[in-house]
Chains A and B, each alone.
Chain A
Amino acid sequence: MKDWIVILLRSGSLFFLTLALVRIIGKRNLSSLNPFNYVNYMVIAIITALISVNVIKNFILGLIALAVWVVLPIALDYLAIKSKWIHDLVNGKPTVLVKDGKVMEENLIQVRYTGEELLRELRSKSAFNLADVEFAVMETTGDINVLMKSDKKPVTPYDLGRKVSPRPESQTVILDGNILNEPLSNLGLNQDWLKVQLENIGVSPDNVFIGQVDGSGDLYVDLFDDSLEAPLPKVKQLIYANLEKCQADLTTFALETGDSQVKNMYINNANKIEQVKGKLEPFLLR
């Protein structure tokens, strides 16, 4: 066989083989590889390249080497799931660099980090002030993760003592003018519902680039024609405003009537609406 045919066949078959192998090894993010994973991928790449350009003459021997470098990591991964000891052996342990706001110098030396580098990494996590850092840890991948002091953390609704409604994820139901049936049926809705909603806001399905339904069932659309203004779903705010109006009406009636029994009934009901408003506020407004 001519050389070029050999190379062609080898490269072609290895192309698909490597594609399959990398898929088998998994979809772990390249940036979260620990150093050994990295070496592993490099070896696979180099072996593949060497077989492909016929430096390793014996195809079978090359494949054996490749198989070892693919099977062993997978086996190790499985063992690491089963055993904490093997996991620590393979992946190592995270190293605490800052604890209780104090830099652990011994650990810094252990991971061979200078103070300068530590500060740089902290800055990249937008901790510009060492005094703001409560805890920092170097993960096995070499990333540094930072916990800020509790008074320097971003404010959450929990800190403010405010109740917020749970927001399930939105589903994309229209893409490029095409109605997607699967997300719709996930929400328990159908095409007819969607058509009615689109009619309500006065756009045709062809004009919609992206349409999303949020967890409470409101539709948000982005149109191809940007000169058209698609209304934002405001139904919930409207309900809340209407509740406020009803409460005000009831209070007015209570003031206007002369009958004390009726007055009490109105005041009582105005209070009930007030309660409902308080209960629904997190769900309707936030």
Chain B
Amino acid sequence: MTVGSKVKQTLSSLKGIKSTLEVYTLQTGDQETSGAYKESLHVINEVLDDLEKRVQTLEFEEPQYKGL
């Protein structure tokens, strides 16, 4: 596996975590819990942004592995 595809894998599993957490944020009735989930989602979004930028750079460097 190339570095690019590894990073993409991590990116997608992080996206999976994000979406599951979003569901839990909606499902839970408790303020404190949903607050903690929201704060975590915020941080995860920052990490996702960084990783997406990195993927773009990698695709630019290795155009032959572009796409999925």
Contact = CB atoms under 8 A, between A and B. Distances in A.
Contacts of B27: 216-217
Interface in A205-256: 215-217, 235-236, 239, 242-243, 245-246, 249-250, 253, 256
Interface string A165-190: 11010000000000000000001100
Interface string B35-51: 01101100110110011
B33 A166 contact: yes
A246 B14 CA distance: 7
Contact of B3 (A253, A269, A283): A253
Contacts of B9: 249
The secondary-structure label for the interface of chain A is helix
Given A216-B27, A217-B27, A273-B47, A279 B54 contact: no
Contact of A253 (B6, B28, B33): B6
A166 B37 CA distance: 13
B43 A276 contact: yes
Contacts, number: 74
Contact of B30 (A168, A249, A268): A168
Contacts of A272: 43, 46-47
B17 A243 contact: yes
A239 B13 CA distance: 10
Given A249-B10, A279-B40, A280-B36, A265 B30 contact: no
Contacts of B7: 253
Contacts of B54: 262, 265
B36 A239 contact: no
Interface in B13-68: 13-14, 16-17, 20-21, 23-24, 27-30, 32-33, 36-37, 39-40, 43-44, 46-47, 50-51, 54
A269 B47 contact: yes
B42 to A, nearest CB: 9
B17 A242 contact: yes
Contacts of A246: 10, 13-14, 17
B21 to A, nearest CB: 7
Interface of A: 165-166, 168, 187-188, 215-217, 235-236, 239, 242-243, 245-246, 249-250, 253, 256-257, 262, 265, 268-269, 272-273, 275-276, 279-280, 283
4 smallest CB-CB distances across A and B, nearest first, come from A217-B27, A249-B10, A269-B47, A276-B40
Given A215-B29, A279-B39, 6 more contacts: A168-B29, A239-B21, A246-B13, A250-B47, A257-B3, A269-B51
